[in-house]
Structure 1
Amino acid sequence: MRRVTKLAAAVTATAALALTATACGESSTESGGKKNKGVGLAFDVGGRDDHSFNEAAARGTDKAEKELGVKTKEMTAGNNETEETREQRLTSLAKAGYNPVIGVGFNYGKSVNKVAKDFPDTTFGVVDEQSHAKNVVGMTFAENEASYLVGVAAAKKTKTDKVSFIGGVDNALIQKFEAGYVKGVKDTDPKIKVEVDYLYKESDKGFNDPARAKNMAKGMLSRGNDVIYTAAGQSGAGSIEEISKKKGAWAIGVDSDQYRQKGLGKYKDAILTSSVKNVDVAVFELIKSVKDGKPLTGNQTFSLKEKGVSVATSGGFIDDIQDDIDKATEKITSGEVKVPTRP
């Protein structure tokens, strides 16, 4: 309970801070008998500038650099990597003296839990997966709940009664986004049609293939869909770009407040809202716990109730339906509405 309360407080504080990528100082925490070199951050495909969950994690380390004086070593995954490659990346960070070592994305689930056992004095973290080792912190989020809320927004804003969802990879994690979104749309207006498609069945290229997302969005727009929610990491940039060309169409962003992403600035007037995962806050809290000598452990789930997920209001495009969003939020947090995790 203590950790959840800290997260809620940190979310509020984070929203008011200007984030920076400037490294300064170095952690003085001791680990394994040698000076801690700082944070080891292993990105998933797409890397720091994916405008999505990787970038959200980077905001957490940027804040730690500014406020805690730690340094960060960043490494990025390639497409269709083997477990061995991920294990080598994590091992290299731990051997070099970085603590904590954080894997961003479900692809690191197995490798983080395996490598952590070889470095019992190092704290490991993994985003979007569970902990199965004593020194691993699993950071998972209620993506389905935030997706439900943007589904409500889509249902309220569509003029054609046709909306759609693009997933990066057809797996259990991205299905949470789909399930919540479809439920939110249908609970708001059962008559609205929801088209669902995935960029790839299994390949993690689905998270960094903007061209394919762009083409898929183009097809959906041609079939009359005027609100498109894309949960596909860096691929979403292609979808948003295509949607911005269609007058009256709306894109819904994911993981970060994509209206505020500099790399998407030219398309921001087409971004209705975003379902936000506060990965930055979770990452920062983990780093701070290690810095303070009281490392977090076990699994932490960040839901709508604890402000671990949210809906972006930048641009003011959902101001007129905020009451609907608030009512839906209350129904979820009170338990009146149960949001599914599978389609």
Structure 2
Amino acid sequence: MVLDKGGKDDRSFNESAVTGFNRALKELSISKNSKFVEPKNDAQIYPFFRSFATSAKCDLIIAIGYNPSEYVPELATKYPDKKFLAVDTNLEDKNSAKNIRSITFAEHDGSFLVGAIAAMKSKTGKIGFVGGMDIPLIHRFETGYKAGAKYINSEIKITSAYVGITTDAWNNPAKAKELAHAQYNEGNDVIFQVAANSGQGVFDSAEQMNKQSKTKHYAIGVDTNQNWIKPEIILTSMVKRVDNAVYFAIKDFTNGTFTTEHTAFNLNDGGVDWAYDQYNEKFFTEAQVNEINDIKEKIINGKIIVPDYYKLDKK
């Protein structure tokens, strides 16, 4: 398995993938020589893949994230005897050798929920968004988040910023903290971070701001349930079950039921959701929890149609 930039300890997307991988190592009959690698820069990604693809003992190769997954179509064509899993991108149209399973998540639906939560909890009527790398995938989060906030408060003001345009944007907490500080100082009191390891900077910013002012500043986590990291400032997390995507793909492979198609996980199957647990229950009344879950059901039942950045006319 090849991780995305930010490493296994990003407390987010990569960490979730590693959780699924380690669960497979523990529970399934796969070689203990199975391993994951952490690229430190883009130049390392392809050599990692090539090393796995040319190994006679490596049967399933996993790409975690939008950036590593870009290498998969070429590799899959070149090594048709191998099976590939690409997480966070749809490679259905590039699966010429029919050996790729690609997995995506309905990020826009989960982001709609946390956008609604941000609007519910905001006292200033201003909320923020800090994305990692400026790519369509993260705009999908942003679009859903904005729609969810406006569903609760049509007048709410939303500020957005991105850490950068290269893969380094996933691993730059200092820059994310700077962007968050700017948004909090402009009156935004809740920020949703979708920035992998960079997102820790948003959490640090909220914590620091709360020590300096009487206004309460909050953040929303992403990918894994991050509520526990700073429970005084993290309202909730928009969870993406990357761990399950990895684990069940490996399980299917060991069972001989590995299908090579595109699969999308959503609110209905728990692939995305909002995180509610002992760390953040103090922020919500019973009525608010019921309202959030009612919105969730309306999305599942098609009574709320969440805008999808991938399908928008961007002319």
- The DSSP-based 3-state class of the residue aligned with 2:37 is strand
Map Cα deviations across residues 1-26 of structure 1 (whole Å, 9 max, x no partner): xxxxxxxxxxxxxxxxxxxxxxxxxx
One-letter identity of the residue aligned with 2:47: Q
What is the CA-CA distance between 1:317 and the residue it aligns to? 4.0
Q: Are 2:282 and 1:322 aligned?
A: no
Q: Cα distance, 1:68 vs. partner?
A: 1.0
Q: What's the TM-score once normalised by structure 1's chain length?
A: 0.82
Matched, 1:276 2:244: no
After TM superposition, the structure 1 = structure 2 runs for residues 203-242 of structure 1, keeping only pairs within 5 Å, are: 203-242=166-205
Match of 2:68 in 1: 108
Q: Write out aligned runs for 1:136-285 (5 A).
A: 136-200=100-164, 202-247=165-210, 248-260=216-228, 264=229, 267-285=230-248
Q: 2:3·2:68 contact (CA, 8 Å) conserved in 1?
A: no
Structure 2 stretches lacking a partner, 5+ long: 211-215
- 1:28 is matched with none
Cα distance in 2, alignment partners of residues 317 and 239 from structure 1: 21
Q: Do residues 65 (structure 1) and 25 (structure 2) align?
A: yes
Matched residues, percent identical?
Answer: 37
Structure 2: distance between partners of 1:168 and 1:60: 23
Q: How far apart are residue 304 of structure 1 and its match?
A: 1.1
Q: Shift of the alpha carbon at 1:246?
A: 2.9
Shift of 1:341: 2.2
Letter in 2 for 1:198: Y
Contact 1:153–1:318 (8 Å) recurs in 2 = no
State whether residues 29 and 254 of structure 2, in contact with CA within 8 Å, keep that contact through their aligned partners in structure 1: no
Q: Which residue of 1 aligns with 2:40?
A: 78
Is 1:273–1:318's contact at 8 Å kept on the other side of the alignment?
no
Q: 2:213 — aligned with what?
A: none
CA separation in 1, counterparts of 2:206 and 2:59? Answer: 42
SS of the residue corresponding to residue 103 of structure 1 reads strand
Amino acid at match of 1:249: H
> Is the 1:87–1:112 Cα contact (8 Å) retained in structure 2?
no
Structure 1 residue 94, shift from structure 2 partner? 2.4
What residue number does 1:18 align with? none
1:309 maps to a residue whose letter is V
**1:193 counterpart letter in structure 2:** K
CA contact (8 A) 1:152 1:324 kept: no
| AA at the equivalent of 1:110 | E
Q: Deviations over 1:149-194 (max 9, x none)?
A: 0001001101111110001122100001100000000011012111
Paired with 1:332 and 1:189, the residues of 2 have a C-alpha distance of 18
Aligned to 1:257, the other structure's residue is in SS state coil
Contact persistence 1:272–1:317 (CA under 8 A): no
Equivalent residue, structure 2, for 1:294: 257
Distance 1:294 1:150 in 2: 35
Report the Cα distance in structure 1 between the residues aligned to 2:70 and 2:203, rounded to whole angstroms: 32
Letter of the 1:241 counterpart:
D
1:5 — aligned with what? none
Displacement of 1:120 after TM fit? 2.1
Identify the residue that residue 21 of structure 1 maps to in structure 2. Answer: none
Residue 268 of structure 2 aligns to a residue in which SS?
Answer: coil
Query: How far apart are 1:318 and its partner, in Å?
Result: 4.8
